[in-house]
Amino acid sequence: RWRGQLREVIVEDREVGPVPLSSLDDVVREHIRRVRRACGGNVDSPTGAAVVLKVNPSTLRSRMKKLGIR
């Protein structure tokens, strides 16, 4: 298992300029947070984040716990 230190990587986006790259966990964490906000904080209602993300509500809760999302 690699445990080296990541260096910050910057990519150039023609529309927004330099953009630092994030880890996959950071990207997933932010995406889940945005979807939850858009769903009024709901996870398993008929219009909740689990439906939007097309995952089982218990799977989403587990992923949120792993990523430290409350």
pLDDT single digits (tens) 3-55:
555 556 666 667 777 777 889 999 999 999 999 999 999 999 999 999 999 99
Distance in Å from the first CA to the final CA of the chain: 28
What is the reported pLDDT for 47?
A: 93
Q: Residue 57 has which token pair? A: 């509500």
What is the reported pLDDT for 11?
A: 63
Q: Residue 64 has which token pair? A: 């949120």
Following CA atoms 19, 23, 26, 28 in sequence, which dihedral angle do they give, to the nearest 10 degrees?
A: 100
What is the reported pLDDT for 9?
A: 60
Measure the CA–CA gap between 35 and 50, rounded to whole angstroms.
Answer: 9
